[in-house]
Amino acid sequence: MNTVEIIDYCLSKPGAYLDFPFGEIPVCVKVGNRLFAQLYTKPQNYKITLNCDKNTGEYYRGLYPDVVVRGYHCPLIQQPYYNTVYP
Which is it for strands 27-31 and 47-51: parallel, antiparallel or unpaired? Answer: unpaired
pLDDT at position 85 is 94
pLDDT at position 10 is 96
pLDDT at position 45 is 87
Nearest to 69 by CA among 54, 82, 80, 83: 83
pLDDT in tens, the chain (87 residues): 889 999 999 999 999 999 999 999 999 999 999 999 999 998 888 999 999 999 999 999 999 999 999 887 777 788 888 999 998
Domains of the chain (ranges plus CATH)? Answer: 3-85 (3.90.1150.30)
